[in-house]
Structure 1
Amino acid sequence: MFRLFQKLHTPKPLTFQLLFPPSPKCCFLLFENSLQFHSNSSYHCDPLLSTLLLALKSSSSVTCCRVIHARVIKSLDYRDGFIGDQLVSSYLNMGSTPDAQKLFDEMPHKDSVSWNNLVSGFSKRGDLGNCLSVFSTLRSEMALELNELTLISVISACAFAKARDEGWYLHCCSVKLGMELEVKVVNALINMYGKFGCAGSAFKLFWAMPEQNMVSWNSMVAVWTQNGIHNEAVNYFIMMRVNGLFPDEATMLSLLQACENLPLGRLVEAIHCVIFTCGLNENITIATTLLNLYSKLGRLSASHKVFEEISKPDKVALTAMLAGYAMHGQGKEAIEFFERTVREGMEPDHVTFTHLLSACSHSGLVNEGKYYFQIMSDVYRVQPQLDHYSCMVDLLGRCGLLSDAHQLIKNMPLEPNSGVWGALLGACRVYRNIDLGKEAAENLIALNPSDPRNYIMLSNIYSAAGLWSDASKVRALMKTKVLTRNPGCSFIEHGNKIHRFVVDDYSHPDSDKIHKKLEDLMRKIQEVGFVSETESILHDVDEEVKTDMINKHSEKIALAYGLLVSSADMPLVIIKNLRICRDCHNTAKFVSMIEKRMIIIRDSKRFHHFGDGLCSCGRESGLYSSVVDALLDLLSQKDFKKLQERVKPQTRTRNKEQGTRKNYQIH
């Protein structure tokens, strides 16, 4: 292209734009090959300069900007406001505030565009101090009239910094300047009040507007979502459609975020249809968000379908799909997906490996987890971070390898955080290792003394071991620190409503039917070998009382309700705000077997898919629980051999350079 360029006597601006992309590298080459055209150019705006200014917008190099700036001053001697504004904007976009301020101060002619450009640049950087300083200068010293662009930029900076006092001051300024009804200004104020958590103020501003535009409606949907009033976000979306407005990317992203806290499958399906109707299904950001939402609702097959419909998935979409497999304990599927995407050219990063190791952990794939933990640094040059160590401790702990998990923590090159110690503490509770559990809890409390979960976990370990006095001391310490945690509750969707249950809940209109169904379920599963794990009740009471208490957990009540009201061919999806206890976990396994139903329970950590008496979480790996023993007792010898063949670990060979996955050691 340069040979063709050099043959042109006086290239026109369009020639530059067609021959050269606006990149910094291209600009430097142009400088070296086209200085002879500067003095001969008959155009008011040099064609090279136009390309240079475009290149700065796509550059993140301050050095590049300084070189171009120097060339402009030295060789071209352009000092007019337009070029100065472009250079100031470029410096601010790159975060070089001193260079931008110095150039702005040296500009001989500054108009309202120049000042707006400076304020806007500070606003985009979140630099509230400089924004307010320039705004005050404009109001008090300069003869220039303030316009709405200046005010909007400063309001946006206040919203970003969550500076309430300054925000209220700017709202007053908008009234004094007569801009309180300007649509763009009001939209900025609505967004600002939403960031402040003042949804009521945003509401009043919105309905006081003489006319709302698309940005106004989007701002209100975002305000309700940000402030946790998710039903209103959906209602405003519906009102927006009634008013004849079609949603755009901003609308759908806010709405999908609201739906994460409204676990209504039919609502998400309806929004998915709207996305198709409005032609937004090709938007990769929306598709990735929708994919992630379906995963969180327990509908992994729908997530996979959304992913397959993305024409060119990027790394974010690939990682989201991998996270879905991990969340649902689909370890083998996650590994297959990872291997396929790597073959197709994806470069895995630390986030990718976090989800992959999490998938191995939730599926009990010890050897595979060790293998990928090793090759992430040996093959892919990704150094393990705290999240990766946390996943490995969780993996080893789930399978009862507590000494290995503890040794891994001791050998870590990084200082263990709460995620690492928390993974060990959870395993110590399951396998009743008091010494390690106490060490983990003490480290957790030292790292975060205000988190009640750490004290509760330590108290539970003592209680499970029968050390009631030690447990009481921990509980007393919690009371002195005034630490409480949210009560456990379970949610299930039916009839386009979310039904909420707590422990020993009798508030539902159908409570009598629900508890009768629960009693029938418990009797049936006990007949086929279920034994309540009363160790989950950490109170010093009689065994009979413990059994009665444990049978009234919220997830059991939600399960009984779901079986009462749902059709037999539909999976039950229950959401629990805390970790599911072992007894409820085992109950769900037995119920899935006798009722021949797919049961999906999402707790605070992951999804559990129950079917045919088994769970996807891999809790059967390592040490067999009493429930698995009872199930095996029901199998014939022939069936037992088949089961052994099914669960027997297999060696998967990759190639000679990478070795095998079986019994891979962690160094």
Structure 2
Amino acid sequence: MVTRRAYSLYHYNYWFSQIPKHFNPTTRRNVCTSIHSQTLLQHYPNSNPKPLFLDVNSCFSIFDCQIFHTKLIKCGNYNDGFIGDQLVGLYAKFGNLYGALQLFDEIPNKDLVSWNSIISVVSRNRDVGKSYSLFCRMRREMGLNPNEVTLISLLPVFANKQALVEGECVHVYAVKLGFLCEAKVVNSLISMYGKCCAVYAACQLFEAMSLRNLVSWNSVIAVHVQNGLSEEGIYYFNNMRMAGINPDRTTIVTLLQAFGDLAAIRPGRAIHGYIIGSGFSLDVPVGTALISVYSKCGSLDASYELFLEMNNPDRITWTAMLASYSMHGHGREAIDFFNLMVKKGIRPDHVTFTHVLNACSHSGLIEEGKMYFESMFKDYGVTPRIDHYSCMVDLLGRSGLLDEAHELIQGMPMEPNAGVWGALIGACRVQRNIKFGREVAEILFALEPSDPRNYIILSNMYSAAGQWKEASEVRALMRARGLKKDAGYSYIEHGGKVHGFVVGDESHPVSKQIYVKLGELIVKIVNAGYVPNTEFVLHDVDEEVKKDMIYKHSEKLAIAFGILVNDTGIPIMITKNLRICGDCHSAAKFISLVEKRAIVVRDSKRFHHFANGLCSCGDYW
């Protein structure tokens, strides 16, 4: 027998789909309600659905919702499951999650649709504990088995490391109930595992799929790109094309992120051409992703040209362009762009101000940074968050105002996190204030005992000051806690491939030629006035050994390779996973002078554009 719920939903949706789409939504709902009411009354004479639908459509606030709730109680429809589900959805829609849950508990005849509705509502509010608790109640108290809608509604809320265990439990249910043959469920599981950094589990699920759709491919590509495995993401994209699956906008945006992370400008340009040739409109998501790619590949001018081509860029696009100026160290230009953004009527948000403050920090614009920090709430109603305090601590500290930076931390309205203290210890390193740096390091060791970066910074400070005993003690503490330093890598794109180098690397196929070219470069820049700065060799060895070690840094190897394989006049683009060292920064300036080559280095924080013996950062980084 067809239930009233099923009949009601079917006919309402059917008539809604039949009404011409050029009618506005309100007209379509009213016409649909009128037709649907008459049809439903013929089959269920005792029901009166018309007032119900009209009242639902007229609810525009929590107050309207409460009036509707009162009417339902008076007319006796309060216990109807279909009506109760709608009312639960209304309470959630207007932000009253407590009211929605309370009403849900009062509904006497809850079925699977009711449980799916409330699980979906709670999941959208990112409440991991409550979502999983409802799921368990449904299984335990009602004896109901979840369907694919239940799982698809539930899995997104577990998309973080802390909820991986709950996500795995839902995976077990999916296996037991045979839902792994449903592509939508598997796609949700892949996405969940990817956001929990469980890449291997996501790949296993993908490889086991018998029928993969576009969403499946997009999910596995995104899993790798989101976890810093951009090359693997591109590999899956190529396999997708070989499988005959054409990309959509989601694929394009994810792929552009991968090319930006790898600083691979040629594939980025190729995708740009594909977008134009395939008829994709340069909408906000695609255009913003392209702006980010060109910026991350060192081509700020191309980013700006693309920005000018876009129709009606929104706040996200403006912020992406602002972030590009910040990343390239163009503080004044970033401020001018921000002022233009406000003048155009685009209201900045907390992300916008993060990039503005970063731009001020990268350019040493102390007064401007203070002004924008103060104006956030006063002029724009944006409450400063912890990221903004971190930017201000970095700005003040690296400008030599360590005491003022420390006072700012002490006056924060929230508890300072490792990011804030990390900005302060970085400033202590720049200012060579070992005593203060040691105090900050102790705080960081307590906050993040498993983060090797804090130990490395303190050890490097001791090494640069020649305090080898203290540096050795910090390294010993790292070893005792099972921590290792992240290896420094430098990457350069050539011949459609990304070539990676580490310090003293001899694994490259043309390694001999690279070292010959590097030797020639060292001779030239020494004759031009370059003096190796061996304080960046963090080992207590002889001076000549230090020089030999510093000559083989990954940045210098990548630059030598770039000069070896690229024609004169082509800028050399290097990407580094850590901060560029001071000696390599100095060497790059001299190489740009003697070779008359433009060199661009993107380190973990910002860009350095070297030309004619100078750097765009003005030696301030």
Determine if the TM-score, normalized by the shorter chain, exceeds 0.5: yes
Partner Cα distance (2:156, 2:372) in 1: 44
Partner Cα distance (2:468, 2:109) in 1: 79
CA-CA distance at 1:402 after TM superposition? 4.4
Matches within 5 A, 1:126-275: 127-135=131-139, 140=143, 148-150=148-150, 152-153=152-153, 161-162=163-164, 163-175=166-178, 180-192=180-192, 194=194, 206=206, 211-226=211-226, 229-275=229-275
CA-CA distance at 1:501 after TM superposition? 0.9
Partner Cα distance (2:101, 2:414) in 1: 41
CA-CA distance at 1:526 after TM superposition? 1.6
C-alpha offsets along residues 115-159 of structure 1, whole Å, 9 cap, x if unaligned?
544454455455122124324556x3x6xx975434544566666
**Which stretch of the first structure deviates more once superposed, 250-259 or 498-507?**
250-259
CA-CA distance at 1:331 after TM superposition? 0.9
Residue pair 2:322, 2:352 contacting (<8 A) in 1 also: yes
Partner Cα distance (1:372, 1:159) in 2: 34
Residue pair 2:325, 2:331 contacting (<8 A) in 1 also: yes
Q: Which residue of 1 aligns with 2:311?
A: 311
Residue pair 1:491, 1:558 contacting (<8 A) in 2 also: yes
CA-CA distance at 1:439 after TM superposition? 3.3
**Secondary structure of the structure 1 residue equivalent to 2:271:** helix
Alignment-mate amino acid for residue 462 of structure 2:
Y
Partner Cα distance (1:124, 1:115) in 2: 14
Alignment-mate amino acid for residue 173 of structure 2:
L
**Which stretch of the first structure deviates more once superposed, 72-81 or 570-579?**
72-81
**Secondary structure of the structure 2 residue equivalent to 1:352:** helix
Q: Does 1 or 2 have the higher relative contact order (CA < 8 Å, sep 6+)?
A: 1
Residue pair 1:291, 1:321 contacting (<8 A) in 2 also: yes
**Secondary structure of the structure 1 residue equivalent to 2:177:** helix
**Secondary structure of the structure 2 residue equivalent to 1:547:** helix
Structure label with greater radius of gyration: 1
Structure 1 vs Structure 2: percent identity of aligned residues? 51
CA-CA distance at 1:233 after TM superposition? 2.9
C-alpha offsets along residues 319-377 of structure 1, whole Å, 9 cap, x if unaligned?
12111111110112101101111111122333322211211221233343344334445
Residue pair 2:489, 2:576 contacting (<8 A) in 1 also: yes
Q: Summarize the Cα distance change of 1:137–1:289 in structure 2 as closer, same or farther, 3 Å threshold.
A: farther
Residue pair 1:230, 1:262 contacting (<8 A) in 2 also: yes
CA-CA distance at 1:558 after TM superposition? 0.8
Q: Which residue of 1 aligns with 2:479?
A: 479
C-alpha offsets along residues 35-92 of structure 1, whole Å, 9 cap, x if unaligned?
xxx9xx9796766654543465xx6x54543333223443695765543332233334
Q: Which residue of 2 aligns with 1:285?
A: 285
**Secondary structure of the structure 1 residue equivalent to 2:600:** strand
Q: Summarize the Cα distance change of 1:87–1:489 in structure 2 as closer, same or farther, 3 Å threshold.
A: same
Partner Cα distance (1:158, 1:428) in 2: 39
Q: TM-score, normalised by structure 1?
A: 0.77
**Secondary structure of the structure 2 residue equivalent to 1:493:** strand
Residue pair 1:589, 1:614 contacting (<8 A) in 2 also: yes
Partner Cα distance (1:442, 1:618) in 2: 32
Q: Summarize the Cα distance change of 1:530–1:316 in structure 2 as closer, same or farther, 3 Å threshold.
A: same
Alignment-mate amino acid for residue 170 of structure 1:
Y
**Which stretch of the first structure deviates more once superposed, 606-615 or 218-227?**
218-227
**Secondary structure of the structure 2 residue equivalent to 1:455:** helix
CA-CA distance at 1:298 after TM superposition? 2.2
Q: Which residue of 1 aligns with 2:550?
A: 550
Residue pair 1:158, 1:166 contacting (<8 A) in 2 also: no
Partner Cα distance (1:270, 1:369) in 2: 38
Q: Summarize the Cα distance change of 1:237–1:508 in structure 2 as closer, same or farther, 3 Å threshold.
A: closer
CA-CA distance at 1:586 after TM superposition? 0.9
Q: Summarize the Cα distance change of 1:184–1:459 in structure 2 as closer, same or farther, 3 Å threshold.
A: closer
Alignment-mate amino acid for residue 173 of structure 1:
K
Partner Cα distance (1:100, 1:402) in 2: 50
Residue pair 2:88, 2:103 contacting (<8 A) in 1 also: yes
**Which stretch of the first structure deviates more once superposed, 496-505 or 95-104?**
95-104
Q: Which residue of 1 aligns with 2:430?
A: 430
Partner Cα distance (1:81, 1:413) in 2: 46
**Which stretch of the first structure deviates more once superposed, 318-327 or 398-407?**
398-407
1:452 is aligned to 2:452:
yes
Q: Which residue of 1 aligns with 2:565?
A: 565
Partner Cα distance (1:355, 1:92) in 2: 34
**Secondary structure of the structure 1 residue equivalent to 2:263:** coil
Q: Which residue of 1 aligns with 2:506?
A: 506
**Which stretch of the first structure deviates more once superposed, 252-261 or 319-328?**
252-261
